[in-house]
Structure 1
Amino acid sequence: MSDPIIRPARADEYDEVGRVWMESWVSTGLGEASEFLLANLRARIRHEIEDGWSLYVADDDGAIAAMLALHLPKLYLDMLFVGPAYQGQSLGRKLLAFTRTQMPDEMYLRCVRENEKAWRWYEREGFVFEKQEIEPSNGFMMKYYRWKRPAG
């Protein structure tokens, strides 16, 4: 892996972003790849952008290595998914550092409770657990986190 460049996603990349999102989600063990899931994620990307997402990709010399979706007005890190071939190489940390340039004082996120690897990572990165509740749209128990820039 070279050093992927984080940049805004282009509309002609949304389908590939959906594929990376699905493969990363499947790598958690919480879902199975399917054409149905892929179609839903691809449709959701377009809907979420219309609803305020700022969508970024980690571009590894033309290959989409990861996706990052931020909702800046809500101070919300909505999605951070690293493709399986790029996991374990600090790309998530680089995406999080980029996110902190976009929301330098405070941000929120949520994570599926069963995705222990993810929420433990966010806790190591300074996010504080606030609550958990079921997400009605998918039935998953979600853990909600907040990060605030340290004082001083």
Structure 2
Amino acid sequence: MKIRAAKDEDLDELRSIYYESRLSHFTWTESGQVSLIDYDQATVDERILLIEEKGAIMAFISVYEPDCFIHLLFVKPGYEGKGLGSRLLAEVINESRRPLSLKCISKNQQARSFYESHGFSVVGEGLDVHDGPYVVMEKK
């Protein structure tokens, strides 16, 4: 397995992972509200790293670098629990020279626990018009 920067030719597979993961895990979102092109809109101007093995992408993370903001971290359904998200998160943490932040939808307790286990703590909260309440987390 290797971590690398995403390339243009990865777009279809990244869209698919984003779409499938949201349908699988974001149970509070109606399936009609999710589309493949949501990935494109969600990752504008973001740095994307991915993990691949034998040419297959298994997970990705996106970071809006000017704000050191982790926007997305998705693991392809069927590859969860193998440490892929932890590896990507560790890569971003190791590369960052400033504190990192992220938003975590309050309904997504699994994600919140994951980030807390990696040293993130809640520093605020807000309300998203589509996904509802969220917490802002930070790692110094």
TM-score (structure 1 length as normaliser): 0.82
Superposed CA offset, 1:103-140 (max 9, x none)? 1441001111101000011111110101111113x242
In the superposition, relative to structure 1, how do residues 33 and 58 fare at CA in structure 2: closer, same or farther (>3 Å)?
Answer: farther
Once residues 40 and 10 of structure 1 are traced to their aligned partners in structure 2, the CA distance between those partners, rounded to angstroms, is 17
- Equivalence for 1:140: 132
- Counterparts of 1:59-74 in structure 2, within 5 Å, are 59-74=52-67
In the superposition, relative to structure 1, how do residues 32 and 66 fare at CA in structure 2: closer, same or farther (>3 Å)?
Answer: farther
- Equivalence for 2:14: 17
SS of aligned partner of 1:86: coil
Coordinate RMSD, CA, aligned:
1.8
Once residues 67 and 42 of structure 1 are traced to their aligned partners in structure 2, the CA distance between those partners, rounded to angstroms, is 12
SS of aligned partner of 1:66: strand
SS of aligned partner of 2:82: coil
- Equivalent of 1:83, from 54, 76, 80? 76
- Equivalence for 1:8: 5
- Equivalence for 1:26: 23
- Equivalent of 1:94, from 87, 96, 99? 87
Gaps of 5+ in 2: none
SS of aligned partner of 1:126: coil
Gaps of 5+ in 1: none
Once residues 109 and 122 of structure 1 are traced to their aligned partners in structure 2, the CA distance between those partners, rounded to angstroms, is 9
1:33 Cα deviation (Å)? 4.9
- Equivalent of 2:40, from 28, 39, 43? 43
Once residues 83 and 66 of structure 2 are traced to their aligned partners in structure 1, the CA distance between those partners, rounded to angstroms, is 27
1:72 Cα deviation (Å)? 1.2
Instruction: Give the number of equivalent residue pairs.
Output: 139
- Equivalent of 2:103, from 110, 113, 120? 110
Once residues 74 and 6 of structure 1 are traced to their aligned partners in structure 2, the CA distance between those partners, rounded to angstroms, is 22
Once residues 99 and 11 of structure 2 are traced to their aligned partners in structure 1, the CA distance between those partners, rounded to angstroms, is 28
Kindly, what percent of the aligned residue pairs are identical?
A: 24
1:29 Cα deviation (Å)? 4.2
TM-score (structure 2 length as normaliser): 0.88
